[in-house]
Amino acid sequence: MLEVLNKIKENQQVAKKLINDASIEAEKIKQDLLQKSVAANEEAFLAEITQAEKKADDLQKSSILSIDQEIKQILSTAEQQAKEIAFKAKINHEKAVNDILDLLFNRSEKNDVG
Amino acid sequence: MTSADALIEAILSEAHETAEKIILDMKKTVQVTLEEQRKKGKERAREIVISIDKKAQNDSVIIKLREMASAESKAKWLILEQKHVLIENVLNQVKDELFTRIKTDKYVNVLENLIVEGGIILGATDLEVILNERDSTLPLDLDRLAEKIGEKTGTKTKITKSAKKIDVVGGAIIQTTDGKIVMNNTFEGMLHNSESEIRFKIAQILFT
């Protein structure tokens, strides 16, 4: 009878140790969690910021792309206008030269001594 | 199996279950806590994210306005530069053509008119004309020109030809003999003094 009681008592100790070991393991997991939770918080924080910065960067790039065509159009129109101006000026070039020459030669005709 | 063995087995089985539950519960707590921390991290970043987003929107508008203004400015410069070149072409040809015109018969009369005009503006009694090398050899009747000036100013005027020569295409510098008052009626002087008006006139002819 005593032997049986001792055996039960021994196994109770084993059972107690099993639970103690589990508690120690759980405590280790908890300690690990404390460290991981700070990192998880920081990682999530940085991930949000990084994502927002990338989004901002993408927006900036798309802004430039979206007006690129408009800018090309403005410059192309200006080049066309410059060509038209040059064409018109070519027609009137000789008249301008002669008018200025006449202006210089005839400016004091009011005092004509001829 | 004796009843004692059954009891022992039950004790150990329960201990195993309890141990497993302790570990499992802790693991669940870990998952929940980590998820909460991730949420807190995101929440902590929220204000900064809003600020980055707002700045990005503003920057985008600024970039668009800046790039458009830059393109429009470039376009204006392109046209202005073209006009400037075309006006310069006219002025260069004018300078070239002046060399031809000064060889015409009409030039002597033009030169005399320029001297008279300068003399009237100066309104002095003793005047001096400075000419280029070529024009100094022209048969200018300076007494007649002085008389003409005198008629306009009401002052008896005398004109002498300076021994000094100037390096110009044509026209004359008219000055008082003491050199205190000078009227530059050379073509170069006229082009220089009336540059903006001349450029404006050229622009009107070329571009309208």
At A105 the pLDDT is 86
Mean pLDDT, chain A cut into blocks of 10 residues (114 residues total) = 89 95 95 92 97 95 89 96 96 96 78 59
What DSSP string describes B45-100? HHHHHHHHHHHHHHHHHHHHHHHHHHHHHHHHHHHHHHHHHHHHHHHHHHHHHHHH
Is residue A88, in this structure, part of any structural domain at all? Answer: yes
At A3 the pLDDT is 87
Domain span holding position A43: 2-105
Query: How far, in Å, CA of B156 to CA of A39, rounded?
Result: 105
Cβ-Cβ contacts under 8 Å, B78 against chain A: 75, 78-79, 82
Quick check: A111 and B117 CB within 8 A?
Answer: yes
The complex's ipTM? 0.74
Reading chain B (208 residues) residue by residue, the pLDDT tens digits are 688 889 999 999 999 999 999 999 999 999 999 999 999 999 999 999 999 999 999 999 999 999 999 999 999 999 999 999 999 999 999 999 999 999 998 899 999 999 999 999 999 999 999 999 999 999 899 999 999 999 999 989 999 999 999 999 999 999 999 999 999 999 999 999 999 999 999 999 999 8
Is residue A114, in this structure, part of any structural domain at all? Answer: no
At B2 the pLDDT is 81
Is residue A25, in this structure, part of any structural domain at all? Answer: yes
Quick check: B90 and A97 CB within 8 A?
Answer: yes
Least CB-CB distance to B86: which of A18, A51, A86?
A86
Nearest CA in chain B to A38: B37
Quick check: A85 and B207 CB within 8 A?
Answer: yes
Is residue A94, in this structure, part of any structural domain at all? Answer: yes
Quick check: A114 and B114 CB within 8 A?
Answer: no
Q: What are the domain boundaries of chain B?
A: 102-207
Domains held by chain A: number: 1
Query: How far, in Å, CA of A100 to CA of B202, rounded?
Result: 8
Cβ-Cβ contacts under 8 Å, A77 against chain B: 75
At A108 the pLDDT is 56
State the architecture of B102-207 in CATH terms: 2-Layer Sandwich (3.30)
At B208 the pLDDT is 87
Is residue A110, in this structure, part of any structural domain at all? Answer: no
Complete edge-to-edge strand list for the sheet that includes strand B158-165 = B158-165, B126-131, B171-176, B182-186
Query: How far, in Å, CA of B85 to CA of B108, rounded?
Result: 33
Is residue A68, in this structure, part of any structural domain at all? Answer: yes
Query: How far, in Å, CA of A22 to CA of B15, rounded?
Result: 10
At A97 the pLDDT is 97
